[in-house]
Each structure stands twice: as structure tokens, then as C-alpha cells.
Amino acid sequence: MKRILPFIIILLVLGVALGSAWYLKRSTTDVHRVSSNSLPGPSPNSQNSNPATAGVGGAEPAHTQGPANAPVHLEEFGDFECPPCGLLHPILVQMKQEFGDRLQITFREFPLVPTHQHAVAAASSAEAAGLQGKFWEMHDMLYENQKEWHEAFDVRPIFEGYAKKIGLDVERFKTDVNSEPVAQRIFLDGKRGHSLGVKGTPTVFLNGREVPFESLPADKLRVLIKELTGTK
């Protein structure tokens, strides 16, 4: 018995390790799992399909694209300086083009401090542009030119340049960037993110359920949205 006991212990530990790994993997993907069975979809019985039903409310009015009665609500918590968020941006643009009025996209600020030194400045610029009704224009400008400003020492002149390019009142923009309403919006979006358990960016929710990062490539995200819209 003494000769085989160590092998029993080793096999036991191997079993526990594999079991824990399987459980961890399953719980990571299950918490976020998105399928037509688990998500509130477009069926008449699912009246609470809006993602805002979970967690504390973020900044109001939220920055959205698409109609409020769309069957699919996609809520992104993003950081303009985060490279994976920059990679997600064209995918979401593509989804918006493909699904049109069947998809509503909401953007929430989640600047990661101190990971990204210009994240708050970028979020403030987008929110300041929002005060002049051009949030999405600045949002696109920041993501599309992320590499340009990411490593800059002083981003203010760059962002002011973007403001000019998208037709903002630059003097007002300069004042708004440091204003209380802008800071308040970023704070409220962050608070909502924390209440939903957001720990990193990009974090995407489809009809209130978190989408695992591995499902964010265009082909996988398209399948998930199609399931929710009920199209094949």
C-alpha cells in the first residue's frame, strides 16, 4: 500500500487541479455566456431586455446609437487609450452597419487609471464634445487616431485639433473638458461599470449579459447578435 499511496495522492491532486481549471473556465464563460436561451431576446415575453435593468445607472442621457426599441442592446465599457478597445471599434461600426435599427449601441466611459496616462483626458474630450452634441464624432476620432496620441507627452493640443476638425467651438471645448458635468458623467459611468463587475476594457454587454472577450471578434459577435435579433 505504501508504494502506491504517493501515486494515489498525485492522481488526486491532478484530478482536483483539472476539476478546478474546468470549473474556473466554466464559471468565467458561464457568467458571461450569451445564447438565445439565456438572454432576453426579442420575444414578446421579454419586456426587460434593456441592459439598464442591471447595475446602478450610468450618466444620463447615455451616449447611444440606434433606436431605444431595438431588440438588441449592446453596452460597451471602453477606454479610448486601450488598444483592444481600439480594435473593437471598427467591429462595432461594422455591426451597426449590418444590423441597423435592430441594434442599439451604448458607450460608457471606463478610463483605466493609472494604466493609461491619457485615458481621463480622452474621456473628458469625448464628453466635452458630447456637450456640443458631437460625442460620437469625437469618439470615432479618438479611436481611429489612438496610435497618434497614445504616446504623446501632451495630448491637449492634439485633442483640441480633433475638436476643430469635427466642427466644435474650440474655446468652449477647452472650458468644458475640465468642467464638473464632464467629470460627473465619467464618474457615473465608472460607477455603473463597477456595479456590473467590470474590471477591464473593453467589456461588452448584450442585452444585459456580459460577452466573453473571446466572443468579440466580428464573426462571433455577429452570430450572437443574430441569435438575439432572431435572424439566421
Partner 1 sequence: MKSAGATAASDRSGKRANLLFVLIAILSLCGLADALYLTIEHITGESVKCTIIHGCSEVLSSPYAVIGGFPLASIGALAYFAVFSLAILKLFDYRIAGQLLLPLVGLMCLVSLWLIYLQAFVIHAFCQFCLLSAGITFTLMALVFVAHWRGGVKK
Q: How many Å apart are CA 189 and CA 60, to the nearest integer?
A: 9
Q: Judged by CB under 8 A, does residue 191 bind partner 1?
A: no
* Residues in region 98-117 near partner 1 by CB under 8 A: 112-116
Q: Which of 104, 106, 203, 207 binds partner 1 (CB under 8 A)?
A: 203
Q: How many residues touch partner 1 (CB under 8 A)?
A: 34
Q: How many Å apart are CA 190 and CA 196, to the nearest integer?
A: 10
List phi, psi (to 5°) of 62: -70, 155
Q: Which of 84, 136, 145, 166 binds partner 1 (CB under 8 A)?
A: 84
CB within 8 A of 26, min separation 6: which ones?
none
Residue 48 C-alpha cell reads as: 426587460
Give all strands (DSSP E) within 72-160, no chain letters.
72-78, 103-109
- How many other CB atoms are there within 10 angstroms of residue 171's CB atom? 10
Contact (Cβ atoms closer than 8 angstroms) between residue 76 and residue 106? yes
Minimum CB distance to partner 1, residue 82 (Å): 4
Q: Judged by CB under 8 A, does residue 42 bind partner 1?
A: no
- Residue 59 or 198 with smaller CB distance to partner 1: 198
Q: Judged by CB under 8 A, does residue 213 bind partner 1?
A: yes
Minimum CB distance to partner 1, residue 49 (Å): 25
Q: How many Å apart are CA 6 and CA 174, to the nearest integer?
A: 70
Q: Judged by CB under 8 A, does residue 5 bind partner 1?
A: yes
Minimum CB distance to partner 1, residue 153 (Å): 17
Contact region for partner 1 (CB under 8 A) — 17-25, 49-57, 148-156, 176-184? Answer: 17-25
Q: Judged by CB under 8 A, does residue 83 bind partner 1?
A: yes
SS3 79: coil
DSSP 210: E
- Residue 166 or 218 with smaller CB distance to partner 1: 218
- Residue 11 or 170 with smaller CB distance to partner 1: 11
Q: Judged by CB under 8 A, does residue 30 bind partner 1?
A: no
Contact (Cβ atoms closer than 8 angstroms) between residue 39 and residue 230? no
CB within 8 A of 195, min separation 6: which ones?
55, 56
Minimum CB distance to partner 1, residue 211 (Å): 11
Residues lying near partner 1 in the complex (CB under 8 A) are found at 2-3, 5-6, 9-10, 13-14, 17, 20-21, 24-25, 28-29, 79, 82-85, 112-116, 199-203, 212-214, 216
